[in-house]
A and B are shown apart, each in its own frame.
Chain A
Amino acid sequence: MKSVSALISRIRGSEKNGYLFMLPYIIFFCLFIAYPLIFSFVLIFHRWNIVTPMEWIALRNFFRMFQDPLFARAIINTLVFLVLHIPLQIVIALIFAVLLNSAIKFRGLFRSVYFFPVVVSGVVVTILWAQLYNYESGLFNHILTTIGLPAVPWLVDPGFAMPSIAIMATWKNVGLYIVLFLVGLQTIPAYLYEAARIDGASGKDQFLNITLPMLNPTIVVIFILSTIGGFSLFIEPYIMTGGGPMNSTLSAMLYIYNQAFSFNHMGYAAALGFVFALIILSVVMLQRKVLETGDYST
């Protein structure tokens, strides 16, 4: 009670114009964050197709979800994508960052070029890659068959489709992570390498014992960003495969989208989204616990 009255007197004594300046963000927050979140939570317990009135169905959306083989499949597909995409992205980004951190010609040009795909629209990139991956007339298979190798069913075989999407997503996003790694590399003190060289450490030893440990905070950030980005996999399967072949690229986001905007199952989609958000939260917390190994900067 005392603290409430202290808060009220604090507000009374504060500069009122400050609240006025905060008002645009407060309105934005209420309209576009708080209201949709609260509304989504209410939807979880309802059946609603936008047109007919909402119908209270308690936990039936969850009962349906746990019997829904497609949602389980979508979660597994998303995890498969993460397992393929994150290591690929980190390894490639690290290799290019190390190269671009060394004294090579046209370093600035290369740094820009590798960043280009990040700024290009995801839809445009996806449509272009769908052309490249085309089984009958794509450039990749044309090159392969020209040199005598068999054509690869990039997007038309359930075993190849998700790895193909992971390769494309890596190409699209790796530029951003190269920049993050470059920042990390440039903060490593030069004297550490100098001391290691005096002690006779090889390049490999320096990389394993100085570069990698010192990059740990960057790796954690990239891991978490990639995980969150990977969980939101949507545009690529939506445009390239529609979730096929045989649901092998049906991501959780695509499934939620289909339920909400193709079939108008707003309540069910909200319940799926809620559970999916909990899964993302758990995975990210687990990652932080496993990956954060301490501070090497001191």
Chain B
Amino acid sequence: MVFLNESNGLIVKEKIFVIICILFLLSCGAPSDDSRDERTDVIRLTYWPAPNPQEMELADSLVKVWNRNNPHIQVRMQPIPVGQSTEEVLLASIAAGTTPDICSNIWPGALYDFTRAGGLIPFEKFSDFDSVLTSRVPSELLETFRSPDGSVYQIPWKTNPVMMIYNKRILRELGYEEPPRIYSEFIRMGRELAERRENDKRFDVWMGERDIRPIWWQRFFDFLPFYYAASGGKTLFENHTVAFVNEYAEAVIAFFSECYREKVFPRTFSHQQDPFLLERMATNFAGSWQIPTIRRYAPHIEFGVAPVPVPDDHEGPIYTYGDFKNISIFSTTRYPEASWEFVKFLIEADHDLLLLEIANQIPVRGDLLTNPLFTDFFNDNPDMVLFAEQAVYTRSVDEVADIKEILDALSQEYEAAVVYGRRSPAEAIQRAARRAELIIEWNK
């Protein structure tokens, strides 16, 4: 997905070219009326998983099992066509009327556009939807995926909770065995590293580093997880109205401002290798995808995982932002019931175990740590236990119009207040809220 990749990615001309090509190819390949083989009475469904190798391998193995066991409903697995982002490809395919029957890479932030275009089927139309979903997903979490019209168009499938991954050696050298849990501890450790840098010019280790460019998706790794953590799981909107003008948002902005003011974070960005892998950064806010990367490229790093720091007076569970990827059925399908059967197959417990084993990603299940089916996996992968524990305390983005532009407005205020200290936290939050309200108003 594009915003998990912190490099710049494709450039515009390529991007525009890709969009045009996708539209063109999709329109050339408009579905013909052959999804049911008349001679054999076989229903044929198309399933789009994410195009990364692990998920393609998972999808391939699941589809083989399904096709073997369901000769009358045959599924064709086809990775989402390559584009700048999944959302872009799906938007293009909705516009061209060439969506698949099922897709398992739906980002909740894009749902507003999909549902407004009438592109998705509400799951309530299936009689066993409630029992299937409530047995898998905690009801409180499931409610966060209900659309403003009261329907559920997405099944929470997997998530990557953003957590703090820390370098144990660096913290130990500072005299700490435990990672920072609250803002003051984080700042104190960062100051000590700054002092060491002052005294020893060859020492170039920072407490953390964030890309300071005002890019909307960068907020998934700083403001959003910290805001969800500080606010006890509140998201940015409530009933489609701005709900982030509060002391939690101000506390988060004040915390990150202090990080830059006290030289806990460098005021820079880099296109070079990940500084965490180079051991130039004591902490990193990332999802579970970072773990295989560390093991592969820097196996010598002794690392630990902890929730993101919270305000000093915080009480209660620590929530975070999670990059959810959900399953939806497109309204272009001719076989909604058959598609629903395949979706149920995808979210069976055995297949969630495969999701963990093959893709190293956390299924959205309430019983992940209690179901004996998963015990062996978590015994073998203790680092993943914390991500699994965090999964139920994870929130996504709100399903509102123009969420990207709202996050862009927030990013600009974040930059002005946090990186350059040109605005107070309260002023930055109020300005971002005003712009968010204007954006919502424009879409009415």
Q: Is the CB of A50 within 8 A of B415?
A: no
Query: Which listed segment binds A: B244-252, B262-270, B304-312, B349-357?
Result: B262-270
| Chain B neighbourhood of A205, CB < 8 A | none
Q: Is the CB of B94 within 8 A of A64?
A: no
Q: Is the CB of A261 within 8 A of B415?
A: no
A11-41 near B? 1/0 per residue, CB < 8 Å: 0000000000000000000000000000000
Q: Which residue from B116, B405, B412 sits with its C-beta under 8 Å from A52?
A: B116
Q: Which residue of A lies closest to B270 (CB)?
A: A134
Closest chain-B Cβ to A165's Cβ sits at a distance in Å of 13
A159-181 near B? 1/0 per residue, CB < 8 Å: 00000000000000000000000
Taken together as a complex, chains A and B put the C-alpha atoms of A257 and B11 apart, in Å, by 11
Q: Is the CB of B12 within 8 A of A136?
A: no
Q: Is the CB of B12 within 8 A of A242?
A: no
A127 sits at the interface (CB 8 A): yes
Q: Which residue from A49, A136, A261 sits with its C-beta under 8 Å from B113?
A: A49
The bracket for how many chain A residues form the interface is 20 to 34
B64 sits at the interface (CB 8 A): no
Q: Which residue from A52, A134, A137, A258 sits with its C-beta under 8 Å from B408?
A: A258
| Chain A neighbourhood of B268, CB < 8 A | 134-137, 156
| Chain B neighbourhood of A263, CB < 8 A | 402, 404-405, 408
B230 sits at the interface (CB 8 A): no
Q: Is the CB of A136 within 8 A of B408?
A: no
Q: Which residue from A51, A131, A239, A265 sits with its C-beta under 8 Å from B95?
A: A51
The answer to whether A257 and B214 touch (CB under 8 A), given A156-B267, A156-B268, is no
| Chain B neighbourhood of A136, CB < 8 A | 204, 266, 268, 270
Q: Is the CB of A52 within 8 A of B117?
A: yes
| Chain B neighbourhood of A134, CB < 8 A | 268, 270
Taken together as a complex, chains A and B put the C-alpha atoms of A51 and B95 apart, in Å, by 5
B68 sits at the interface (CB 8 A): no
Q: Which residue of A lies closest to B412 (CB)?
A: A247
Closest chain-B Cβ to A58's Cβ sits at a distance in Å of 14
Closest chain-B Cβ to A249's Cβ sits at a distance in Å of 10
Q: Which residue from B15, B116, B212, B216 sits with its C-beta under 8 Å from A261?
A: B15
A264 sits at the interface (CB 8 A): yes
Taken together as a complex, chains A and B put the C-alpha atoms of A135 and B94 apart, in Å, by 44
| Chain A neighbourhood of B204, CB < 8 A | 136-137
B91 sits at the interface (CB 8 A): yes
B155-177 near A? 1/0 per residue, CB < 8 Å: 00000000000000000000000
Q: Is the CB of B11 within 8 A of A123?
A: yes
| Chain B neighbourhood of A130, CB < 8 A | 271
Taken together as a complex, chains A and B put the C-alpha atoms of A110 and B91 apart, in Å, by 50
A223-252 near B? 1/0 per residue, CB < 8 Å: 000000000001100110111111100000
B426-444 near A? 1/0 per residue, CB < 8 Å: 0000000000000000100
B272 sits at the interface (CB 8 A): yes
B119 sits at the interface (CB 8 A): yes
A241-279 near B? 1/0 per residue, CB < 8 Å: 111111100000000011001111100000000000000
Closest chain-A Cβ to B139's Cβ sits at a distance in Å of 30
Interface SS, A side: loop
Q: Which residue from A50, A135, A156 sits with its C-beta under 8 Å from B92?
A: A50
Closest chain-A Cβ to B38's Cβ sits at a distance in Å of 33
Closest chain-A Cβ to B117's Cβ sits at a distance in Å of 4
A158 sits at the interface (CB 8 A): yes
Closest chain-A Cβ to B248's Cβ sits at a distance in Å of 25
Taken together as a complex, chains A and B put the C-alpha atoms of A246 and B417 apart, in Å, by 10
| Chain A neighbourhood of B95, CB < 8 A | 50-51
B104-131 near A? 1/0 per residue, CB < 8 Å: 0000000001101101000000000000
Q: Is the CB of B113 within 8 A of A131?
A: no
Q: Which residue of A lies closest to B403 (CB)?
A: A263
Closest chain-B Cβ to A250's Cβ sits at a distance in Å of 9
| Chain B neighbourhood of A242, CB < 8 A | 213-215
| Chain B neighbourhood of A234, CB < 8 A | 12
Q: Is the CB of A244 within 8 A of B11?
A: no
Q: Is the CB of A238 within 8 A of B12?
A: yes
Q: Which residue from A158, A238, A243, A262 sits with its C-beta under 8 Å from B420?
A: A158
Closest chain-A Cβ to B120's Cβ sits at a distance in Å of 11
The answer to whether A239 and B267 touch (CB under 8 A), given A51-B94, A52-B117, is no
| Chain A neighbourhood of B214, CB < 8 A | 242-244, 247
A184 sits at the interface (CB 8 A): no
Q: Is the CB of A246 within 8 A of B416?
A: yes
Closest chain-B Cβ to A127's Cβ sits at a distance in Å of 6
The answer to whether A239 and B11 touch (CB under 8 A), given A135-B266, A246-B422, A263-B402, is yes
B419 sits at the interface (CB 8 A): yes
Q: Is the CB of A244 within 8 A of B212?
A: yes
A117 sits at the interface (CB 8 A): no
Q: Which residue of A lies closest to B19 (CB)?
A: A261
Interface residues of B in 404-418 (CB under 8 A from A): 404-405, 408, 412, 415-416
- A sample of 15 inter-chain contacts (CB < 8 A) reads A51-B119, A52-B116, A127-B8, A135-B267, A136-B266, A136-B270, A156-B419, A239-B8, A243-B213, A244-B214, A245-B212, A246-B422, A261-B12, A262-B405, A262-B408
Known: A50-B92, A52-B113. 12 other contacts (CB 8 A): A51-B91, A51-B113, A51-B117, A52-B116, A127-B271, A136-B266, A136-B270, A153-B267, A156-B212, A238-B11, A239-B8, A263-B408
Chain A interfacial positions (CB closer than 8 Å to B): 49-52, 64, 123, 127, 130-131, 134-137, 153, 156, 158, 234-235, 238-239, 241-247, 257-258, 261-265
Chain B interfacial positions (CB closer than 8 Å to A): 8, 11-12, 15-16, 19, 91-92, 94-95, 113-114, 116-117, 119, 204, 212-216, 266-268, 270-272, 402, 404-405, 408, 412, 415-416, 419-420, 422, 442
